[in-house]
Chain A
């Protein structure tokens, strides 16, 4: 399965390479072109995470930075403190919007590509991720601790990637990057943002959508559990009763 996908990636990128090399005139009309090896990621029974290949071409020398962002949603963070010797959740903050997934790939270390102010404006790197708490609720340094807590928790789950994936650039014009989505990604519309940097400035940017969705049995069970909860509960009980009965029969024979 994995091998098959790799071969498929190779085929696609070779085709792209040929296209890009054979028609230089077309490339001039656009400074930056990108595509993904797939537009949807299907969560099926065997899903254990996946790699999505991003490839593209650019005109002239430059650096490429790619950001993958999962859909924003509100996130509750809790903080423990010791009560009578036991650790208890005693405080809570709600971040109105935080990306459910965040990963970054770059052709060079970010600090060498652009200045902090530029990186901050484009929210490049976990340090620059915009995660605001209402001013009234938290002073600046308190907010920073909660923010760090949110990021650490997502990192532990593998949903905010600490490492910056490499982007390889060939012939100063073609680039490719492998983007990894772990098994616990949430579903929804992801954004793949591609930036072309030259002399520390963004000269071009493209956005590609990536849909993560449940497919097949997984989707059926999930939708059923959430849309027809009562029936789902009854069927779960029925399945258990049947399984118990079958087990009893097997027991008796043995």
Chain B
């Protein structure tokens, strides 16, 4: 059964879209990630124009983050104050990101920049996660590990505009989360992701937030950042396909339920190790595509 997507201007199989949503939803439920970094490359792979894939995926992540954050909200795992500071940075960053996106699209370099961003960031995060989870697995086998130092003083604590974040038990400069939010916002707009896979490690390792509030707070600010991206992509580039977003969403919601159940049976470090392998696989595929000689050196572009 085919469905015609009005903005992508192509016809795709309904079950393929639901299935993709389901599989990515399953993985996102399993690993507790948004899944944008899987879905956007997949959409591009099946022939959806990259610009439409990025714009539409932002729209889908809004929905995924809302359903995720509500669960965390009830458990009190959202640091609203921290979320708002991250969000301020995120809104500025994602606005700049969409402008950058339009500019690069006109130059004909957007596909390259999307691919390069994926390779660099997925490669880095994936390698770090894999290393960390392997170490955790080995440590569990050999000896009970020593606890990491909870807090270290560095130059960042000398920055101005200090703010108290009660729920995160932090007293740090607001510039720090603002900058993190800003940079992740730029990437979210360009890569068509929520940015959780960068935001979460940044919150833990750069800001020093307690793990319990990290996911909820990250989801909280992702809703607004991706909503901003959705609006700007729809307004400036007309690249948000609501029909496609709804198809993916339906599959993803169902898949995520099963994923979350399956995830409960695995150990944390095993999950992280598997996620790392998957991230590296996506990264490797995109990297390979950049290096291998294309079938046709000529391609059709947008813009004048």
Q: In the complex the two chains form, what is the Cα distance from A11 to B103 in whole Å?
A: 54
Q: Which of B227, B238, B301, B302 contacts A237, CB < 8 Å?
A: B227
What DSSP secondary structure best describes chain A's contact surface?
Answer: helix
Query: B260 — nearest CB in chain A belongs to which residue?
Result: A251
By a CB distance below 8 angstroms, the chain A residues around B238 are 225-226, 229
Option from A43, A237, A251, A254 in Cβ contact (under 8 Å) with B4: A43
For B224, the closest partner residue in chain A by CB is A237
Q: Is the CB of B234 within 8 A of A251?
A: no
User: Per-residue CB proximity of A235-251 to B under 8 Å, as 1/0?
Assistant: 11101110111011011
Say yes or no: A251-B257 contact (C-beta < 8 A), given A221-B242, A240-B249, A244-B66: yes
Contact, CB under 8 Å: A244 / B62:
yes
Cβ contact within 8 Å between B245 and A240: yes
Q: Does A5 contact B (CB under 8 A)?
A: no
Closest residue to B73 on the A side, CB-wise?
A248
- The closest CB in chain B to the CB of A82 belongs to B293
Interface range for B: 35 or more
Contact: A240 with B62, CB < 8 Å? yes
Whole-angstrom CA separation of A232 from B234 in the bound complex: 7
- Whether A241 and B108, one on each chain, are in contact in the complex, defined by CB atoms closer than 8 angstroms, is no
Contact, CB under 8 Å: A243 / B63:
yes
Q: How far is the CA of A71 from the CA of B213 in the complex (A)?
A: 56
CB of A241 within 8 A of CB of B257, answer: no
Q: Mask for B63-91, Cβ within 8 A of A = 1, else 0? A: 11111001100000000000000000000
The yes or no answer to B59 lying at the interface (CB within 8 A) is yes
Known: A44-B4, A184-B11, A251-B67. A229 touches B234 (CB 8 A): yes
Asked if A186 lies at the interface with its beta carbon under 8 angstroms from chain B, I say yes
How far is A218 from B242 in the complex, measured between Cα atoms in Å? 11
Contact with B along A206-242 (1 / 0, CB 8 A): 0000000010011001100110011011111101110
In the complex, residue of chain A having the shortest beta-carbon distance to the beta carbon of B111? A89
Question: In the complex, A4 Cα to B234 Cα: how many Å?
Answer: 39
Chain B, Cβ-Cβ closest to A252: B71
- Contacts A80-B298, A186-B9 known; list 17 others, CB within 8 Å: A46-B3, A77-B301, A78-B298, A79-B297, A150-B298, A184-B9, A221-B7, A222-B6, A229-B234, A229-B236, A233-B230, A237-B59, A237-B231, A240-B66, A241-B62, A247-B67, A248-B70
